[in-house]
Amino acid sequence: MDAEELRRRFEGLTTAHLADACVRARLQVRCAPAGTRAATAGERVAGRVLPAQHVGSVDVFLEAFAGSEPGDVLVVDNQGRLDESCVGDLVAIEAATAGIGGIVIWGLHRDTADLAAIGLPLFSLGAIPTGPLSVHARPDDALESAAVGPWTITREDLVFGDEDGALFVPASEAGEVLRLAESIRDTEHRQAGLIRGGTTLREQVRFDEFLRQRAENPSLTFRGHLRAVGGAVEE
């Protein structure tokens, strides 16, 4: 799936749809840590991961861009640090010039106003005025993987971001996850329309029936009930 098709299919979805689809596909739901948000409200991103481990110097990003493909999303591992930023306006405008589709940081950014003007989607844990405070030895795999919270992300992954945050999906599973996400979206939209039309969600999923059956069979779960009646809120 090329970068353009990926962005097009994500346009009608949310990261919540994708997270639910991962559950349905029995994949780990790999979300960036809570608090990961777009620097500019309303930004969205979807693309192949371009990992980079930040150690205090911009050269790792420049090298990553040299090996990138159009639409790749720079995923920066700055160990979740909250005492320094690792990406600012110069990195962002260089990334945009290189055809990068966006930036996701496990850490902080700065130059927020300039970033908004550049228009490249950027997600991070927030902003702080100071740049890198020190330079450390660069690991051998600095361009092969990036940690984002508890997850190790590689070029074999895709990243998606919207108002709820960011999450990662194996590229090999993207087609199935997107298909499931679209199905979940359509079902939720249909259910929401029925609620607005006067049919409650409880009625749609036959909740009274579930309560009666659970009284007779305490091992019955709501998801098991949904499977039996064709509901789709959690299943």
Q: Pick out the residues of the known binding site for Mg(2+).
A: 111
Where does residue 127 fall: left (phi above 0), alpha (psi -120 to 50 degrees), or beta otherwise? beta
Q: Pick out the residues of the known binding site.
A: 88-91, 110-111
Neighbours of 4 (CB within 10 A): 10
Q: Which two tokens mark 235?
A: 């299943």
H-state helical runs in the chain = 3-11, 15-24, 59-66, 89-97, 112-118, 174-196, 201-204, 207-216, 222-229
Residue 47: CA count within 13 A, CB half-sphere: 23
Q: Pick out the residues of the known binding site for substrate.
A: 88-91, 110
Between CA 6 and CA 158 the distance in angstroms is 9
- Amino acid (one-letter) located at 207: F
Where does residue 38 fall: left (phi above 0), alpha (psi -120 to 50 degrees), or beta otherwise? beta
* DSSP helix/strand/coil, 82: coil
Q: Which of 195, 200, 188 is nearest to 234 (CA)?
A: 188
Burial state string for 73-84 with b = 16 or more CB within 10 A and e = fewer than 16? bbbbbbebbeeb
